[in-house]
Amino acid sequence: MNEVIKIEHLKKNFGDNEVLKDVNVTVKQGEVVTIIGSSGSGKSTLLRCINLLEKPTSGKIIYKDTNVLEKGYDLPKYRTHLGMVFQQFNLFNNMNVLDNCTSGQITVLKRSKEEAKAVALKNLEKVGMERFINAKPGQLSGGQKQRVAIARALSMDPDVMLFDEPTSALDPEMVGEVLKTMKDLVDTGLTMVIVTHEMAFARDVSDRIIFMDQGVIAEEGTAEELFGNPKHERTKAFLSRILNPTI
């Protein structure tokens, strides 16, 4: 399998706060990598460094054999290869569903309106939202908004999709439809990096699970290894907390 993204010795400080301390991650073509860990452990910061919403303090982000942090690298182009889905949807509320899914294609990828529309419709169909093309985000449920956000990201034909807790802001009854949509994407062979607290889902879809703790990767392995036989005390403590919540 080819490596799509390789993170080497990544560090990120916010002032004196060392949020990522020497993080190393490789994501291969077609792999589904899930990141779990307590609040504040650095999961979002890692995703935001991968797509350069945050500038890493040091380290390398190697995309298809080239370090994108080197001077002169075409960063806007790099960003188009990564799709991002956030907890809070981040749709354009003044645009309808179709325009949300075509605007990036037209402005960034320079696609014609017709082509962008065809691509958007294909992806909206994939997430079961093709009947809502004229709706504004405000008219949709949280689950529907998140499915549109996924279709919008897919419409840019990314090499990798990054998801940051895509179901955490949803009412419980909407979580299933979004996880189902993501599971369908997994089945298409898309390369995905997913931050989630949905442990059953993580167990079901992940090729590899990364457990982050205080800015480092404390442990990683297959779902079987991590859930079945966690090696580190911190992993055990986290899993026991999240799998057996007390009141």
Ligand X SMILES: Nc1ncnc2c1ncn2[C@@H]1O[C@H](COP(=O)(O)OP(=O)(O)OP(=O)(O)O)[C@@H](O)[C@H]1O
Q: Which residues in this chain contact ligand X in the complex, by CB under 6 A? A: 14, 17, 19, 37, 39-45
Beta bridge partners of 27: 5
CB 45, min distance to Mg ion, A: 8
Cα-flanking dihedrals φ and ψ of residue 66, to 5°?
Answer: -125, 135
Question: Which strand ranges, in their side-by-side order, compose the sheet holding 3-14?
Answer: 17-28, 3-14, 58-63, 66-67
Nearer to ligand X by C-beta: 19 or 149?
A: 19
In the list ligand X, Mg ion, none, the entry touching 59 (Cβ below 5 to 8 angstroms by class) is: none
The residue number with the shortest CB distance to Mg ion is: 44
Q: In the set 4, 32, 33, 44, which binds Mg ion (CB under 5 A)? A: 44
Strand-pairing partners, residue 213, are 216
Q: How far apart are the first and last CA of the chain?
A: 44
> Please, which residue, 88 or 96, has the CB nearer to ligand X?
88
- For residue 211, give the H/E element and its range: strand 208-213
Least separation, in Å, of the C-beta of 188 and ligand X? 27
Q: Using CA atoms, how far apart are residues 101 and 245, in angstroms rounded to an integer?
A: 38
Whole-angstrom Cα distance, residue 94 to residue 100? 9
- Minimum CB–partner distance for residue 141 and ligand X (Å): 23
221 contact, one of Mg ion, ligand X, none, CB 5-8 Å limit per kind: none
40 vs 128, beta carbon nearer ligand X:
40
